[in-house]
With several copies, the nearest count.
Chain A
Amino acid sequence: MDLGLDVSERNGYTVLAVRGEVDVYTAPRFRERLIELVSEGKHRIIIDLEGVDFLDSTGLGVLVGGLKRLRSHDGDLLLVCTQSRILKVFEITGLTKVFSIYDSVDDAVGAAS
């Protein structure tokens, strides 16, 4: 199963675009990439979930872990997601209150700066 992880830069933010299915099998790669970015000094990260086909609690765990790690560096983690089936898992778990979720990378960058 493929998990796509593409990194780009945008207005001082690092954008990590995730593609494919995030579950117990693929989450470790996602987690490692995120930790790698943080340790490279990228402390303002946008995670673009628009290409994600599936995400369960393992994926939520990676995001929560990432947010915690970035906060401890006074950094920021923003999410981009408009897919209702993905937003639903954030809503059920109450994580919409923990994350800032935007409709597009542009919106996220705009709101933050």
Chain B
Amino acid sequence: MIDERAVQLEIPAGAEFVALARLVVSAMASAETQLSDDRVDDLKIAVSEACTNAIEAHDALETDERVLVQCWADDDHLEVRIEDRGTGFDVSNLPEHPPVTDPERLKFERGLGIPLIRALVDEVEFASSGEGTAVRLVMRHDEELDGNGLRP
């Protein structure tokens, strides 16, 4: 399952550790010469969103389980997995927000995380149950994108 070349970071479910997850992933991603700085920045935001959600899902349970961040570079992509033992959720059933042009939109200070993740990474997959959630983020190498853009 997890690649033997993966780096794994395990953090307590505390807000102060999200920066560490960003740091590790961005160091791994920067080492990949095929990912531009812009795309490393995009990945950092996606990781931050996923870790924030993971930590909030633990808060809700008041558990002291930990959040796992795995990261590895493959031939043609970089992959990050964020796993929590929180409440879980139904990703197909998230609330819809009014369009941004609607003044009502201002009622919603939240719910921007998952849309940001979807927009920023090349591939995202959520696997969630009562046991917790795993989010898989994939950034394909820029070369690959310049080519035929086929998924691996």
Contact = CB atoms under 8 A, between A and B. Distances in A.
Q: Are chains A and B touching in the complex at the 8 Å CB cutoff?
A: yes
Interface of A: 1, 21, 23-25, 54, 56-58, 60-62, 64-65, 67-68, 71, 84-85, 88-89, 92-95, 97-98
Contact of A64 (B15, B44, B45, B106): B106
Given A1-B16, A23-B48, A25-B19, A93 B109 contact: no
Nearest to B17: A25
B106 A71 contact: yes
Interface of B: 15-16, 18-19, 22, 31, 38, 41-42, 44-45, 48-49, 52, 55-56, 99-101, 105-110, 112-113, 115-116, 119-120
A54 B44 contact: yes
A60 B15 CA distance: 17
- Name B's interface SS: helix
A84 B31 CA distance: 22
Residue of A67, A88, A95, A97 with most chain B CB atoms under a 10 A cut-off = A88
- Name A's interface SS: helix
Given A56-B49, A92-B116, A23 B108 contact: no
A85 B19 contact: no
Given A1-B19, A56-B116, A97-B101, A61 B109 contact: yes
B38 A85 contact: yes
